[in-house]
Amino acid sequence: MTADTIGRVIRRVAAGSASTSNAFDDLRALTSGAFQLWLTSDLNLLGEESTYRTLASIPGFIDVSRQGPTGRTTALQPSDFDWLPLDGGYSPAPACACLGSHAIHRVATASATLPRAVLRGRVEPPSTGADKFGYILVASPGRGGLPFVSTFTAGTIAGGGSWTDLEVSITLTSEMTASIAETPALGDGGSSGPSPIGETVVADVCTFWCAFFSTAGKCQAVGLTLTLEPVP
């Protein structure tokens, strides 16, 4: 069964049979009712896969021991996290990553709403209850948008030392994306560069970032995956 608006399983007749509902039989007109349901199901599935999909997966960080620059552990802002280059020679290095710039498609229904971005993973917070493990997911409009001033969501995990699931999400809005115009090209282009193949394509693009800090000791945040999912 596909995830679609039909809400039923469509039985397809094997190619080469004598049934009049066989869409693959050579030299036979398609039975419009069954084939229309089939195409509708497939198109609905493609629409959902275009909107709801995995955007990025990274191994994560096995040594989150850098403290936040402001010392704040509630009402977190992007400024409460370090966004310095990972190869900058800082010790301990900041636990942050750009999760890429991605085209955001509206849901292929009459509501045409935007999806939500969800960051999931597994984390090991500090061993003492008084200490905190901070994390943030940032959505910046456009390609390569920086995380310093943006719409975002954040959370704090208390201590205890036990592994736990991490889940943080942003319900995307039009203010979190920026329209980018691209001219598609064919091939690698060789020495002269690729040739444009048609009209300019405009997409709504958002850049995602994540970062972590620990107020005491070594923590871990691993198996991080960013996805676009339906709004509950």
- For position 177, what pLDDT does the model report? 93
Strand partners, 61: 221
Flag whether pLDDT at 13 surpasses 80.
no
Residues composing the chain = 232
| pTM, full prediction | 0.77
Burial (Cβ within 10 Å: 0-12, 13-18, ≥19) of residue 103: middle
Distance (Å, whole) CA 21 – CA 14: 10
Q: Looking at the chain, which residues constitute the CATH 2.60.120 domain(s)?
A: 55-229
225's CB contacts (< 8 A; 6+ apart) are 54, 56, 57, 119, 120, 121
Q: pLDDT at residue 95 above 60? A: yes
pLDDT at position 223 over 90: yes
In 3D, which of 6, 34, 9 has the Cα closest to residue 19?
A: 34
- Structure-model confidence comparison of residues 89 and 154, the more confident one: 154
Region 111-138 average pLDDT: 91
Which tops the pLDDT comparison, 181 or 40?
Answer: 181
The tokens for 232 are 């509950």
Q: Is the torsion defined by CA of 83, 86, 92, 94 positive or negative?
A: positive
Contacts of 105 (CB under 8 A, 6+ apart): 50, 51, 204
H or E element at residue 46? helix 32-51
The per-residue pLDDT for 8 is 46
Alpha-carbon distance of 229 to 100, in angstroms, equals 17
Looking at residue 79, the DSSP 8-state letter turns out to be: G
- For domain 55-229, give its CATH number from 3.40.50, 2.30.42, 2.60.120, 3.30.410: 2.60.120
pLDDT digits (tens, 9 = 90+) for 126-153: 988 789 999 999 999 999 888 876 778 8
pLDDT confidence of residue 20: 52
CA distances from 71 to 30, 67, 81, 175, 216 (A): 68, 7, 9, 29, 11
